[in-house]
Amino acid sequence: MRLLVTGGAGFIGANFVHSTVRDRPNVAVTVLDALTYAGSRESLAPVADDVRLVEGDITDAALVDTLVAESDAVVHFAAETHVDNALADPEPFLRSNVIGTFTVLEAVRRNDVRLHHVSTDEVYGDLPLDAKDRFTAETRYNPSSPYSSTKAAADLLVRSWVRSYGVRATISNCSNNYGPYQHVEKFIPRQITNVLTGRRPKLYGSGANVRDWIHVDDHNRAVWRVLTDGGLGRTYLIGADGERSNLAVMRAVLRLMDRDPDDFDHVTDRAGHDLRYAIDPSALRDELGWAPEHTEFDLGLAATIAWYRDNESWWGPMKDTAEAAYQEWGR
């Protein structure tokens, strides 16, 4: 199989490329990535000899068409992904997430190539903190932020290209990922690298907000299950029953790094901050037989902390810039 992976130099995409190269020797991987601030060649260094990396933009229709025409399938990860950046400047999110997905869709339509579109649980908005219900594929779209609304728009484009043009596509909406190669702007890597650089960890508001954590390798195994055996036109929710409050995650990071669990600052909350995300993954489990392998959050978190300790050369160069933005925002 010739597989085109957009955004393969970012966090989830790079982990996807690593595991694909390791586990699927019959797959020839091409990565298309604009190498924005969030993507880096270094994330693909361990597999540099095994994949083709094309530096380019998913809004470049001629380039995307050429690469799609050479492929049997596309896994589309490329996007602007950080909610705080979207609040500060939404324009790149419209361009990459909406126009970029449109460009990919037109290319797979012209060339009749299978597409898997990677999306997020944030398209469903949030749930009350005290409720027991979870998101399913039937939950109404209700995005809160410029990030999630552009991802929702992209999902709707995919659905309509399936219905109107018969494009062979699937969608997955996953919860919060953690693991190696995640940008230090995101919650878990930010706290780990704050400790490692002598800064104080930062918790938005009270920390009562709940996220449903999944290890990035479990997400990527689910993407492969959907790409291989998912029903065309279907949406699959990916989650690993990993609901935790931000305060609990913060304390776990500090405990695993031998710090006092209260050794952090409360900072100004994010505007429009979603309260709780929770995924019901039963369709994926029951129909496609997927189950998470990283079921002990503390073990996955400890391994992630060890990875950041051992790979300062990867994250060091981006840390000061990320913290300068947070300082400007008062977070």
**What residues make contact with ligand NAD under the rule CB under 6 A?**
7, 9-13, 33-36, 38-39, 57-59, 77-81, 96, 100, 118, 120, 151, 174, 176-177, 183
Per the CB < 8 A criterion, the answer to whether 183 and 307 are in contact is: no
Catalytic residue selected from 122, 212, 217, 218 = 122
**Sole binder of ligand DAU in the list 4, 44, 67, 83 (CB under 6 A):** 83
The residue nearest ligand NAD at its CB is 10
For ligand DAU, the closer of residues 69 and 87 by Cβ is: 87
Residue 143's binding partner among ligand DAU, ligand NAD, none (Cβ under 5 to 8 angstroms by kind) is none
Does residue 134 belong to the site contacting ligand DAU (CB under 6 A)? no
What are the C-alpha distances in Å from 148 to residues 84, 222, 311, 318?
A: 11, 21, 30, 24
178 is catalytic: no
Q: Work out what residue 96 binds among ligand DAU, ligand NAD, none; the CB cut-off runs from 5 to 8 Å by kind.
A: ligand NAD
Which residues, 251 to 270, sit near ligand DAU by CB under 6 A? Answer: 270
The answer to whether 43 contacts ligand DAU (rule: CB under 6 A) is no
The three-state DSSP-derived secondary structure of the chain is: CEEEEECCCCHHHHHHHHHHHHHCCCCEEEEEECCCCCCCHHHHHHHCCCEEEEECCCCCHHHHHHHHHCCCEEEECCCCCCHHHHHHCCHHHHHHHHHHHHHHHHHHHHHCCEEEEEEEHHHHCCECCCCCCCECCCCCCCCCCHHHHHHHHHHHHHHHHHHHHCCCEEEEEECCEECCCCCCCCHHHHHHHHHHCCCCCEEECCCCCEEECEEHHHHHHHHHHHHHHCCCCCEEEECCCCEEEHHHHHHHHHHHCCCCCCCCEEECCCCCCCCECCECCHHHHHHHCCCCCCCCHHHHHHHHHHHHHHCHHHHHHHHHHHHHHHHHHCC
What, of ligand NAD, ligand DAU, none, does residue 209 touch, CB below 5 to 8 Å by kind? ligand DAU
165 catalytic per annotation:
no
- The stretch among 29-37, 57-65, 196-204, 221-229 that binds ligand DAU (CB under 6 A) is 196-204
Q: For this structure, is 42 an active site residue?
A: no
Q: What, of ligand DAU, ligand NAD, none, does residue 13 touch, CB below 5 to 8 Å by kind? A: ligand NAD
Annotated catalytic residue within 84, 106, 121, 243: 121
* Dihedral sign (CA 211, 215, 217, 221): negative
In the region spanning residues 167 to 186, those forming contacts with ligand DAU, defined by CB under 6 A, are 175-176, 186
Q: Which does 322 bind (CB under 5 to 8 A by kind): ligand NAD, ligand DAU, none?
A: none
The least CB distance from residue 11 to ligand NAD, in Å, is: 3
Is residue 190 involved in binding ligand DAU (CB under 6 A)? Answer: yes
* Residue of 6, 59, 81, 139 that binds ligand DAU (CB under 6 A): 81
- Contacts with ligand DAU by CB under 6 A lie at 81-83, 120-122, 175-176, 186-187, 190, 202-204, 209, 211, 246, 270, 277
- Catalytic positions, written as ranges: 121-122, 147
